[in-house]
Amino acid sequence: MKESLRKDTKQDFDERQLLERGKAFRNAFYTALFDVLILYALNEFAGLKFIDPEFICYFLIWTSVAVFLHTAIWYDAFEAPNDTGEGRMVVIIWGVCGAFLLLSTVLRTAAYLGLPKEERDIGNLLNTVVTALCMLSIFITYALKRRRRQRYEEE
Amino acid sequence: MGKNLKLKAARALKDMSQKQLADAVGISRQTMNAIESGDYNPTIKLCRAICKALDQTLDELFWEE
């Protein structure tokens, strides 16, 4: 019976989780579209020329990944019933990396401010901040959800 | 969709926790909780699997009067 409902994939999500993940993918896709719209408007109409293609790539990818993972984690569709803890490891590593990146950005900002105006590259600094914030927020959501789940299971 | 109290009662009759029943049918504990609380409408395939695990019929567990 158990086998009949599962496929031979590594992460074997059940039917509700697959539906939730589908919704999460949809949200991530809309986020990417919305990001393009906002960044284009900022670049073309607001005249914020610091938005370079590299930043746009980082921003699109990380915000979409963050939206997907937040939705999947929040609706219990991140870990499959046969989960081996790989997802948890990735999120923990992201949390550590995010904290490190944020800390390094603070130090880099001090160095950045010391540079002459024409040599300043704010795009690179923003890439790091966006990446760090997305990584950290995913970690925090996961930790909160896990704590909530543990509390429920204790009751 | 209201709570599925019949499913909860049948599970209690078998002395199974949500986690045990979920493991028996190959779904997550959260999905089992969503089915019992009426937040998720399972497919017929999953309904049948739950019925078999609890030795009940579809009518007994999922038919709403």
Q: Tell me the DSSP string of A50-83.
A: T--HHHHHHHHHHHHHHHHHHHHHHTT-SS-TT-
B49 or A3: which carries more pLDDT confidence?
B49
A26 or B60: which carries more pLDDT confidence?
A26
Banded pLDDT at A107 (limits 50, 70, 90): confident
Query: Nearest CA of chain B to the CA of A79: how many Å?
Result: 9
Residues 6+ apart with CB under 8 A from A32: A60, A63, A64
| Residue of B28, B32, B40 to mutate, testing the A interface (most A Cβ within 10 Å of its Cβ) | B28
User: Looking at residue A116, what is its pLDDT?
Assistant: 79
Query: Nearest CA of chain A to the CA of B53: how many Å?
Result: 8
* Interface A:B, Cβ pairs < 8 A: 54
pLDDT tens per residue, range B54-64: 999 999 898 87
The residue type found at B51 is C
Token pair 């089992």: residue: B32
Look up residue B60 and give its two tokens: 């007994």
Q: What percent of chain A has pLDDT over 70?
A: 91
Name chain A contacts of B24, Cβ cutoff 8 Å: 1-2
A7 to chain B: closest CA residue: B26
d(CA A119, CA A125): 13
The structure's pTM equals: 0.83
User: Looking at residue A46, what is its pLDDT?
Assistant: 78
A147 touches chain B (CB under 8 A): no
Residues 6+ apart with CB under 8 A from A131: A58, A62, A98, A101
Banded pLDDT at A54 (limits 50, 70, 90): confident
Look up residue A11 and give its two tokens: 């992460």
**In this predicted complex, what is the ipTM?**
0.88
**Hey, how many other C-beta atoms are within 10 angstroms of the C-beta on A57?**
11
Query: Nearest CA of chain A to the CA of B51: how many Å?
Result: 11
Q: Is A28 left (phi over 0), alpha (psi -120 to 50) or beta?
A: alpha
Checking if the pLDDT of A134 tops 80, the result is yes
The residue type found at B63 is W
Q: Which of B54, B28, B9 is nearest to A153 (CA)?
A: B28
